[in-house]
């Protein structure tokens, strides 16, 4: 069968797949030429039936593809042209870029617009070279161990091939589009894929609490309440719950932060709002952020106990106050944070939204309105914490992000990738007044030694005339290993 170029799976863009059948099993070499530059891809498996994904393509571009066997044999030449970007595609403004200083790799941007998600990969010049459109709002997105993307939507986790589209999905029975039922109300905010095909995530559980504060005021009346507990769950590839750890069991249900009395769908009051999860499978510990408790915890998954609690002292009582980290130096507490991460030296990075700078236990609400990225050094022996670095002053001044946000330490340079994911104004001017949709995002690569000169700074937005709601970005990642699964191509 002569080779031919096929389109990718549903929702996938800027990809083509060369399909061919050989009489004798062989490896295959593909040369991809766009008229300005050529690149060679050697697919290392030895097969007779081939589906060769061509990734990293640019929109509206004509390509010539030369397909040959390895060692050299018959050659076929094919041609195709990629489609233009869809109408309303996220716009990327480059405010700063210094490629010589940048962390190598491409940038993964899960853009959201209401219930619509467009997952975009940007190359080193911040041009789109891959995308996937999904009808569920995207939150966390990560490149898994086997080369597929894992993502969370409004209630489910799904896995996406970069050329075949959605492969699997997990969530509550009856949820639209779920292939594997899991005994949960919803899977939300975070997914941490594991090498064995399982994953960790967060879920809700409706719990009736007999004595719960009915207001934010001191000495508020207590009464029965249904609370949306958050659980850390480990789910097998087949949907079995391997582990579950309740945050309500670990923390004080009578301690409130601002927004703790908001409703979480029909699951109950949103007492803690767990919104970030990381897993260290070697140490068997979890790092969890709880927006409405203004707290980050490290949880021992074997004992089910807290190793430590990073939070303002306001409102905490024993036994939680016994494991709360004491501050060293000039340490400012985080409020309404997102995306806690361990760094290479064991510090904690997080995105500190700072909707407020106090809790109901301190008095009336005090608004923050300047979000930041912050790093804390934790000393678990002394049970102390110290703020060692923060970043808030961008090229356009401070930014306030009421929801969303992300931060990562980049492995080769030690730079910080910060995602200010849901911006409504810059430099005191609303997005609409700038001619943009109401929501936008800024993704900034920062050298901690020279934060005043960002390595890169991009804005993700829409034009007001084409999309009044704009685009926000829940998480952003740098992909250093490329888009192809490990072992598919020769080095």
Residue 491 — very low, low, confident or very high, per pLDDT cuts 50/70/90?
confident
| CATH dotted code for 4-81 | 2.60.40.10
CA distance 281 to 243: 13
First to last CA, the chain: 29
Give the whole-angstrom CA distance, residue 316 versus residue 310.
11
pTM, two decimals, is 0.96
Same fold, 4-81 and 91-479: no
Question: Largest Cα–Cα distance in the chain?
Answer: 82
Calculate mean pLDDT across residues 470-488: 91
Domain coordinates of the chain in residue numbers?
4-81, 91-479
Q: Burial, 476: exposed, middle or buried (Cβ in 10 Å; 0-12, 13-18, 19+)?
A: buried
What is the pLDDT confidence band of residue 73, given thresholds at 50, 70 and 90? confident
**Mean pLDDT score of the chain:** 95
Q: Which CATH architecture has domain 91-479?
A: 7 Propeller (2.130)
Query: What pLDDT was estimated at residue 1?
Result: 55
Tens of pLDDT, residue by residue over 176-220, are 889 999 999 999 999 999 999 999 999 999 999 999 999 999 889
Are 252 and 317 spatial neighbours (Cβ–Cβ below 8 Å)?
yes
State the pLDDT at residue 71.
Answer: 78
Distance CA 129, CA 311 (A): 41
Please state, in angstroms and rounded to a whole number, the distance separating the CA atoms of residues 249 and 72.
Answer: 64
What's the pLDDT tens digit per position in 369-427?
A: 899 999 999 999 999 999 999 999 999 999 999 999 999 999 999 999 999 999 999 99
Q: Which residues contact 410 (CB under 8 A, 6 or more apart)?
A: 103, 416, 417, 445, 478, 480
Per-residue pLDDT tens for 136-173? 878 999 999 888 999 999 899 999 999 999 999 999 99
Q: How far is CA 109 from CA 92, 101, 135, 149, 358, in A?
A: 11, 21, 16, 12, 32
What is the pLDDT at residue 481? 75
Residue 412 has which token pair?
């080769």
């Amino acid at each position: 069968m002569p080779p031919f170029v096929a389109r990718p799976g549903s929702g996938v863009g800027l990809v083509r797949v060369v399909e061919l059948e050989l009489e004798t099993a062989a490896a295959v070499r593909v040369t991809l030429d766009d008229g300005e530059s050529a690149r060679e891809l050697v697919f290392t498996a030895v097969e007779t039936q081939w589906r060769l994904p061509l990734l990293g393509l640019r929109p509206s571009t004509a390509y010539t593809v030369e397909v040959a066997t390895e060692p050299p044999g018959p050659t076929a030449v094919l041609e195709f042209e990629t489609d233009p970007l869809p109408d309303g595609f996220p716009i990327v403004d480059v405010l700063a870029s210094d490629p010589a200083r940048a962390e190598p790799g491409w940038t993964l941007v899960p853009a959201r617009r209401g219930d619509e998600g467009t997952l975009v990969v940007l190359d080193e010049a911040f041009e789109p070279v891959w995308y996937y459109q999904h009808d569920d709002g995207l939150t966390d997105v990560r490149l898994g161990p086997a080369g597929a993307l894992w993502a969370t939507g409004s209630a489910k986790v799904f896995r996406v091939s970069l050329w075949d589209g959605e492969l699997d999905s997990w969530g509550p029975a009856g949820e639209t589009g779920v292939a594997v039922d899991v005994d949960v109300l919803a899977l939300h905010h975070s997914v941490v894929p594991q090498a064995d095909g399982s994953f960790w995530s967060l879920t809700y559980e409706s719990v009736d609490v007999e004595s719960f504060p009915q207001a934010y005021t001191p000495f508020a009346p207590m009464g029965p309440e249904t609370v949306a507990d958050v659980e850390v769950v480990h789910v097998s590839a087949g949907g079995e719950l391997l582990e579950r750890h309740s945050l309500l069991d670990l923390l004080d249900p009578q301690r409130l932060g601002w927004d703790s009395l908001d409703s979480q769908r029909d699951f109950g009051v949103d007492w803690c709002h767990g919104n970030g999860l990381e897993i260290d499978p070697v140490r068997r510990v979890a790092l969890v952020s709880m927006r409405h408790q203004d707290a980050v915890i490290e949880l021992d998954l074997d004992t089910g106990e807290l190793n430590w609690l990073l939070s303002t002292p306001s409102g905490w009582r024993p036994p939680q106050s016994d494991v709360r980290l004491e501050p060293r130096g000039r340490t400012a507490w985080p409020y309404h944070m997102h995306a806690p991460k361990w760094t290479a030296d064991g510090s904690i990075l997080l995105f500190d939204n700072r909707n407020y700078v106090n809790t109901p236990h301190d008095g009336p609400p005090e608004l923050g309105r300047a979000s930041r990225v912050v790093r804390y050094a934790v000393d678990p022996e002394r049970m102390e914490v110290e703020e060692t670095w923060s970043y808030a002053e961008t090229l356009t001044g401070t930014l306030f992000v009421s929801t969303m946000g992300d931060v990562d330490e980049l492995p080769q340079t030690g730079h910080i990738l910060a995602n200010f994911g849901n911006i409504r104004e810059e430099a005191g001017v609303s997005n609409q007044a700038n001619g943009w949709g109401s929501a936008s995002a800024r993704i900034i690569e920062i050298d901690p030694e020279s934060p005043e000169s960002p390595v890169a700074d991009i804005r993700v937005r829409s034009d007001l005339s084409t999309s009044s709601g704009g685009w926000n970005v829940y998480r952003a990642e740098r992909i250093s290993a490329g888009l192809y699964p490990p072992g598919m191509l020769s080095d």
